[in-house]
């Protein structure tokens, strides 16, 4: 079974593959406790949400592939911070371009990953999106 990789929103600042900081986590401090959040969140994803999620997911992966090696090859703490900030900015822009907030992206991610049919559809859309120039 293939599983999508998630952008982590639960930490104060999440990590991409343990190296790049994600923009999602600063929002988690002001959110309700996890049990309350789970009860209020919708459990379905529209076709439009799935397509927006797919485009953001593919962009996120491209950004990660670009910035992770640069970060791994840098020992200077200031340079690492600069690379992380630049990557975060691009990730935030990719989400905004699709009309997604970090919370919406992570909500869709959870729903898609929890449902085999939705996951299969998402993976097909991801493959289609990756083939686009």
Render pLDDT for 4-42 as a digit per residue (tens, 0 to 9).
554 433 322 232 333 333 433 333 223 334 444 445 556
Domain ranges of the chain: 15-131
The 8-class DSSP code of residue 11 comes to S
Q: How far is 96 from 119, CA to CA, in rounded Å?
A: 23
pLDDT tens-digit profile of 67-98? 999 999 999 999 999 999 999 999 999 999 99
Q: Judge if pTM exceeds 0.85.
A: no
| The Cα angle at residue 64 between residues 112 and 49, in degrees rounded to 5 | 30
């Amino acid at each position: 079974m293939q599983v999508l990789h998630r952008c982590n929103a639960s930490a104060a600042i999440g990590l991409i593959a343990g190296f790049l900081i994600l923009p999602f986590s600063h929002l988690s401090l002001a959110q309700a406790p996890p049990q309350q959040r789970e009860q209020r969140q919708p459990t379905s994803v529209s076709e439009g949400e799935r397509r927006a999620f797919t485009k953001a997911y593919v962009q996120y992966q491209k950004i990660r592939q670009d910035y992770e090696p640069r970060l791994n090859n840098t020992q200077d703490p200031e340079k690492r911070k600069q690379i992380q900030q630049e990557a975060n900015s691009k990730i935030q822009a990719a989400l905004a371009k699709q009309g997604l907030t970090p919370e919406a992206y992570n909500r869709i991610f959870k729903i898609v990953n929890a449902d085999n049919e939705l996951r299969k559809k998402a993976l097909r859309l991801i493959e289609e999106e990756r083939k686009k120039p």
